[in-house]
Amino acid sequence: MEFFCGTGFKRPVRLCEETRTFAYESLHGKYGEEAMRTPTVSVDDIYGYDDMLDYDRYVCSIDAIVRKCPLRFVEGERIIGAATLGGAIFHHVPAVRSGEYTFWSVSHVTLGFDRVLKIGLHGMEKELDEYNDRPYNCYLRKVIDHFRIWHARYLAESMTRNPECHDLLLHVPFQPARTFHEAVQSLWFCFAFTRLCGNWSGIGRIDEMLGPYLKKDLADRTITLDEAREILAHFFIKGCEWIRKDTPIGTGDAQHYQNIVLAGIDVNGNEVTNEVTYLVLDIIEELGISDFPVTVRLSKHSDERLLRRIAEVTRYGGGVLAVYNEDLILQSLTDIGYDPIEARKFANDGCWEIQIPGQTYFIYHPFDGYSMLMQDVIGLPDNPRTFESMEELWEAYTARLKAHVDTQFDNMLRDRNRHYDRGDWKWRQAGPPCEVVSLFIEDCAKNGRQYYRGGPRYTVVSPHIGGAPDAGNSLHAIDILVFREKLVTFPELMKALQNNWEGYEELRQYAMNKITYYGNDDDEADSYVVRILDTFADLVLKHNDECPVKFIPGVSTFGRQIDWMHSRVPSPMGTKRDAILSGNDSPTPGTDTEGATAVIKSYCKANLRKQACGAALDIKLHPSSVSGENGIAALVAMQKTFVQLGGFFMQTDVIDADVLKAAQENPEQYKTLSVRVSGWNARFITLKKEWQDMVIERTSGGTV
């Protein structure tokens, strides 16, 4: 049984045939189709439902879910539990009233599953006893009661259908895990419960959570590495249970934010990398599962074995692996006020934005920095202004950036309910009930407040600039065309852009082909992008200490360049209307010609330490550039360069554009072909054509 690889490299075989069959069926949509046959449960039979408070309606919905949802058992599975209601796939609590969904669910969060492994749900109930005077906590108790109902249903039926897992559920997740197998079962069962209720959470640092259990079992000789790999593989396979055979075309089908973070140091400063780290890499290498995008925390001290293993797995493509620069991120988090010990816990929000798992509420607010320049400041397409110097234009752009950031901050203060007359702070509800999520956020019980109301230790709000490379390139082009080389006046250039470059082809070709842009390790070409990012970060960070919310900057598009392209005007760098421009902090497509290393060097020239939420760089490499020992060495060198120069986050995909084009023509032959989109992966054929074209056209990278 072969698992597809878009790069042509042959995948290894380590897992048993039964596990591989289970993986194949899951990856090809068998269980996603089952889920869609029962998308929701009904709460129409609950007396007085419409007259209840929202909190009460929510817990009644969860009660209906755990009592009525189908249970799933798969022959030979090593862990049990499943999110079997298809409505959860659509970011809803899968309960309906008169045919309408009752509540939205939660994403962009990584919950504190590690606490369940350590103290069990009974331990969490004891914590609730300590804060029994908080009225809100009665709802957290009800969620545990509902969890117990779902657990009891599986416990009863597994007695005959899966005795091995029945024995596991006799102990976990209500008691602390004692063995590796119990720990994997406990982690999966809690994660599956949150998914069943509609939430899309990240997993967090799976090797830190599971590694100590495996180490002990190996020392006691109660398990082998091969046995542990089989058990952990079932965790990953079951995470593909929402794949459907006929997924609607859109932004991709594998974007449920169940990201994983590997390696890095723990709170004591000790390296986490362990046997589980390498088992995870083994599993995604063999099965090509892309539904758990994996980010590895690298530092200047990362072991050569780990760097090589990342390179080996990256070569199979799919964009499953990305890397963080741990050294820089720890400095960044300390800069914005995190305790240095606490900062060491960092993972992500289920995408790539930085947060402390189990302790963070997070939301980001994206905006288009390119359109802000071209439309808000310059006035295209209808009322173009004239600027007499680049400094005048830059000052106008800076003023517009400042006004936007200040407005975002003021809006955040209003939404979170600051009392201006007294200057104090009072949290206000900023979202729907979500007690399943609040249960797995450590301080919600202590504070007696839910996830959306200041319950977590950290509330993070992050303005995100998109299109910064395009704005920087446009400023650079204006500087050269108008003010340095004086090939055209400012009004004439504006006329060319209003006409979509029609009648100005010679000037357009000059702008496209004679000017060097961001992404080629040219200091002059990179300077405006660097200036934009550093200025934006400073404008955001000046507000960070003004209230209990962490107000921090980030750089992203998350594919929004597709949504933005039809409202954007032509650019001074020669692109016409409706062009797909830069993704995240990556070069504008087609402008980088000097290879991936040059792209990394350009990207690292900004002070990315200021971008405390994250700044993503997308690198796409051709399989021929990473083949053989030389290819592995080149990928390892690329990782080291990224860390040494001060990168933040880099997601690398290895793919042949011809394979992607073939998949566009014959999608049925490429059902499991995965690509990195942004903070998530998707099977390529589930992307609409504009998104497919974006993946094909973005950063080429060339040779390393």
| Per-residue model confidence as pLDDT tens digits over 54-109 | 999 999 999 999 999 999 999 999 999 999 999 999 999 999 999 999 999 999 99
pLDDT at position 251 is: 74
Are residues 371 and 568 in contact, defined by beta-carbon separation less than 8 angstroms?
yes
Q: Is 656 exposed, middle or buried (0-12, 13-18, 19+ CB in 10 A)?
A: middle
| Biggest alpha carbon–alpha carbon distance for the chain | 82
The predicted structure's pLDDT at residue 254: 64
d(CA 673, CA 519): 28
- Does 391 reside within a domain? yes
What tokens does 403 get? 């006004």
Q: Are 211 and 274 in contact (CB under 8 A)?
A: yes
**Domain termination residue (choose one: 612, 645, 672):** 612
> Domain end: 661, 678, 695, which one?
661
**How far is the CA of 358 from the CAs of 212, 555, 701, in angstroms?**
20, 24, 36
Asked whether the beta carbons of 615 and 533 are under 8 A apart, the reply is yes
| DSSP bridge pairs for 100 | 97
Question: Do 438 and 573 sit in the same domain of this protein?
Answer: yes
Could you tell me the residue range of the domain that residue 650 belongs to?
1-26+200-353+617-661
Query: Among 170, 198, 196, which Cα is nearest to 182's?
Result: 170
For 376, which DSSP code? Answer: I
Task: Assign 176 to helix, strand or coil.
Answer: coil
Nearest to 701 by CA among 630, 608, 603, 579: 603
**Opening angle at CA 223, ends 12 and 205, nearest 5:** 70
599 shares its domain with 635 = no
Structural tokens at position 136: 């809100």
Cα separation, 82 vs 234, whole angstroms: 12
β-partners of residue 618 are: 651
Whether residues 349 and 244 fall in one domain = yes
CB-based contacts of 632, cutoff 8 Å, min separation 6: 308, 311, 312, 315, 626
Question: In the numeric block, which tokens belong to residue 273?
Answer: 């990398």
CA gap 349, 519 in Å, rounded = 28
Structure tokens at 695: 């993946």
How far is Cα 528 from Cα 478, in angstroms, rounded to an integer? 11
Distance CA 352, CA 618 (A): 12
Q: By three-state DSSP, how is residue 557 classified?
A: coil
Query: Of 612, 640, 673, which residue constitutes the final position of a domain?
Result: 612
| Domain membership flag for residue 685 | no
DSSP state of 162: -
Q: At what angle do helices 113-130 and 180-196 cross, to 10 degrees?
A: 70
- Report pLDDT for 39: 98
If the chain, 704 residues long, is cut into consecutive pieces of 10 residues, what is the mean pLDDT of each piece? 85 97 95 96 96 97 98 97 97 97 96 98 96 96 98 98 98 98 98 98 98 98 98 97 84 82 98 98 96 96 98 94 98 98 96 96 97 98 97 98 97 77 78 97 96 96 98 98 98 98 98 97 98 98 94 94 92 95 94 95 98 96 94 97 98 91 88 83 86 72 38
At residue 578's C-alpha, the angle toward residues 572 and 583, to 5°, is 80
Total domain count for the chain? Answer: 2
For 609-620, letters b (16+ CB in 10 Å) and e give bbbbbbbbbbbb
Same domain, 245 and 347: yes
What does the block give as tokens for 91? Answer: 């970011």
Instruction: Give yes or no for a contact between 205 and 347, defined as CB atoms under 8 angstroms apart.
Output: yes
Q: Are strands 95-97 and 41-42 parallel, antiparallel or unpaired?
A: parallel
Within this chain, do residues 493 and 468 fall inside the same structural domain, yes or no?
yes
Do the strands 649-654 and 260-262 form a parallel or antiparallel pair, or are they unpaired?
unpaired
In 536-627, DSSP assigns E strands to: 550-551, 554-555, 614-621
Say whether both 459 and 409 belong to one domain. yes
If asked whether residues 492 and 579 sit together in one domain, one would say: yes
- Cβ contact 264:333 at 8 Å: no
Instruction: Give the separation between CA 657 and CA 589, rounded to whole angstroms.
Output: 14
Contact 107, 91 (CB under 8 A): yes
Report how far residue 230's alpha carbon sits from residue 215's, in angstroms, rounded to the nearest whole number: 16
In this structure, the answer to whether residues 335 and 440 fall within a common structural domain is no
Contact indicator for 581, 694 with CB cutoff of 8 Å: no
Same domain, 528 and 389: yes
Whether residue 339 is found in the same domain as residue 382: no
Check residue 419 and give its pLDDT: 59
The backbone region for 22, taken as left when phi is positive above 0, alpha when psi lies in -120 to 50, beta otherwise, is: alpha
Question: What CA–CA distance (Å, rounded) separates 92 from 86?
Answer: 10
36 Cβ contact list (under 8 Å, min separation 6): 86, 89, 244
- According to DSSP, the residues that pair with 348 across neighbouring strands are 354
The residues near 471 (Cβ < 8 Å, ≥ 6 apart) are 369, 370, 372, 373, 374, 397, 528, 529, 532
Q: How many Cα atoms within 13 Å fall on the side-chain side of residue 23?
A: 29
Identify whether the C-beta of residue 316 lies closer than 8 Å to the C-beta of residue 285.
yes
From its phi and psi, is residue 500 left (phi > 0), alpha (psi between -120 and 50) or beta?
left
CA dist 325 → 2, 295, 301, 308, 468 (Å) = 34, 10, 11, 16, 21
- What is the rounded CA–CA span in Å between residue 364 and residue 261? 20
Report the alpha-carbon distance of residue 247 to residue 345 in Å, rounded. 36
Beta bridge partners of 204: 260
Does 382 lie in the same domain as 345? no
- 290 plus 340 within the same structural domain: yes
